Structure 1
Amino acid sequence: MTLSLELSELATEIAREAGELARRRRDEGVRLAATKSTLADIVTEADREVEALIRDRIREARAGDGFLGEETGAELGESGITWVVDPIDGTVNYAYGIPAYNVSIAAVSGNPEPESWEALAAAVNAPAVGEIFTAALGHGAWLAGNRLAVTGETPAGALLATGFGYDPATHADDLATVSRVMPMARDLRRMGAAALDLAYVAAGRIDGYFERGLRPWDHAAGELLVREAGGAVSWIDSSATRPMLIAGGREVHAKLHAILTEKR
């Protein structure tokens, strides 16, 4: 078994257990633990508990690996493998009882710096709907035994997804970006969970996705899903404080990239 498959199996196993814990805690009732960057950027007690479980399971299986988690930060390892974890992606949805949340786990080769790592394995578990999206480098992206493939042509226009940052000061720019891409769109979706948006691109449920200001744990697993499903992922404004990720089938990705890099 290749390393990427081995890591994918472990990521899937841990994501399944972590997702079940998140779902149980949601059913029991959510307690808010803190806010982060803004009042809208919340963290629940479940976020912390789920991340602790994931960290413990990784340490038990692969003690020498590094770790980068949304709630607990970075820890360098000795093996050259780092796990990048969002314990509950879509925390606001989770707190409100909206089922669009997930556990996102990726294993990457290298240090916890997206510019230099290579994603090897991914698991995105949406426990409220009973779906686990998985990928291993060189072995495709999968859901329930079915290999995933991104959308090809979109003659009726592309179904696009995006997200907005928590800082209200960024919303005008985000809305302006939406206005720029709408001429190529069939419609727009705004789910509030980046890893699910990317998983849905990989599954062909969404044709393209764009969002500024994502953090490493937001996109590490989902980005590999899209690539392994035959799609393209790129970043623009890489020197800006809020670089933008663009993902989609190759035709849609190319159109989005052209629109969003056009000088105005």
Structure 2
Amino acid sequence: MVGMTEINVREFRDYAAGLAQQAASLILTKRAEITATDDIRSHSQTKTSAVDPVTEVDTAAEAFIVDSIHRDRPDDGIIGEEGADIPSKSGVSWVIDPIDGTVNFMYGLGEYAVSIGAMVDGQYVAGVVINVVKQTLYSAAVGHGATVTYRDGTSTILRCRQETDPQLSLIATGFGYTQTRRSGQAKILQEVLPQVRDIRRMGSAALDMCRVAEGTVDAYYEHGVKIWDVAAGIVIAREAGAQVRVPEVWEKNSARGTLVWAASAELAPAFERLLSSVGANGEID
């Protein structure tokens, strides 16, 4: 099994960054090819419900990432949103969301991302999220901080905002794909909204975690996200100073609507109390 040495976590981060950038280029190319002659929605199928799509570009991007890892690191495990499920022989596993924000991708909204996280013996150790349209690359490795690199090559160290009052905090959230879960989320949102500065719903959990890290939102919460949605973002947010709460064990195909949240260390105690007071700590089916 692999130990979490300094060189390992940085190598994992840098390797994931290269893959994410290549996958982002592939996604843009394929989208352009399809939309030149057709509606991209005709190249999609549904998953958990009629409003939960997957496109052929999602599957192509995941295949590219999986094939690359299998070639370069054949003993590593892989967990992918679109079906990749390879047990690890090395203790290292890669958690992949080829397009987080597929609905945005289909509609031409520039808020979707490739997310690649690395785990060692079940511990989150490195993560990379790239906004495909903006080419903004967020990356982190445990013990080495979090960084954002822009299209022009300039980089900035990420730090959360230090707000302490939920009433002055901008909160990101998201919604599930089934009517029952959306109904439950709406009830919680109705209680949260009057007690915060405002709510933002951008459509990508991976990017929402990065927004907490960069301080463009103060906190994020959502029920029912999957490990591939936030595995990379967990490391990025934590390395930027956030407290992150996720399930201790993720069940890959579970429909359970468990709560995930992230907030700066300064805001986290009050934000946790707010979520508890509105009944958000439980699962939403």
Instruction: Pick the TM interval, shorter chain.
Output: over 0.9
Q: Deviations over 1:102-160 (max 9, x none)?
A: 000001012xxxxxx21111110112012010001110110122110011025671010
Contact 1:47/1:88, CA 8 A, preserved across alignment: yes
Structure 1 residues 192 and 127: CA distance shift in structure 2, 3 A:
same
2:273 is aligned to 258
Q: Does 1:152 align with 2:167?
A: no
2:132 is aligned to 127
For the residues of structure 1 that align with 2:43 and 2:267, how far apart are their CA atoms? 38
Counterpart amino acid of 1:136?
A
> Equivalent residues in 2 for 1:110-125 (5 A)?
110=121, 117-125=122-130
Q: Percent identity?
A: 37
SS in 2 for 1:2: helix
For the residues of structure 1 that align with 2:45 and 2:247, how far apart are their CA atoms? 32
SS in 2 for 1:251: coil
1:17 is aligned to 22
1:183 Cα deviation (Å)?
3.4
1:235 Cα deviation (Å)?
3.9
For the residues of structure 1 that align with 2:249 and 2:228, how far apart are their CA atoms? 17
For structure 1, the residue ranges without an aligned partner over 5 or more in a row are 111-116
Counterpart amino acid of 1:261?
S
Contact 2:246/2:259, CA 8 A, preserved across alignment: yes
Contact 2:112/2:131, CA 8 A, preserved across alignment: yes
For the residues of structure 2 that align with 1:74 and 1:221, how far apart are their CA atoms? 17
1:185 Cα deviation (Å)?
1.5
Q: Does 1:91 align with 2:102?
A: yes
Counterpart amino acid of 1:184?
Q
Structure 1 residues 253 and 183: CA distance shift in structure 2, 3 A:
farther
Number of residue pairs matched?
258
Counterpart amino acid of 2:147?
W
1:179 Cα deviation (Å)?
2.0
1:104 is aligned to 115
1:78 is aligned to 89
Structure 1 residues 79 and 131: CA distance shift in structure 2, 3 A:
same
For the residues of structure 2 that align with 1:81 and 1:65, how far apart are their CA atoms? 5
User: Runs of 4+ in structure 1 displaced over 6 angstroms?
Assistant: 236-240
Contact 2:148/2:157, CA 8 A, preserved across alignment: yes
Give the TM-score normalised by the residue count of structure 2. 0.86
Contact 1:67/1:77, CA 8 A, preserved across alignment: yes
1:74 Cα deviation (Å)?
1.6
Q: Does 1:34 align with 2:45?
A: yes
For structure 2, the residue ranges without an aligned partner over 5 or more in a row are 1-5, 150-154, 280-285
1:176 is aligned to 187
For the residues of structure 2 that align with 1:231 and 1:202, how far apart are their CA atoms? 7
**CA RMSD of the aligned region, Å?**
2.0
1:241 Cα deviation (Å)?
2.2
For the residues of structure 2 that align with 1:237 and 1:168, how far apart are their CA atoms? 26
Moved more, 9-18 or 183-192: 183-192
1:238 Cα deviation (Å)?
8.8
Contact 1:237/1:243, CA 8 A, preserved across alignment: no
Q: Does 1:241 align with 2:256?
A: yes
For the residues of structure 1 that align with 2:243 and 2:53, how far apart are their CA atoms? 31
1:213 is aligned to 224
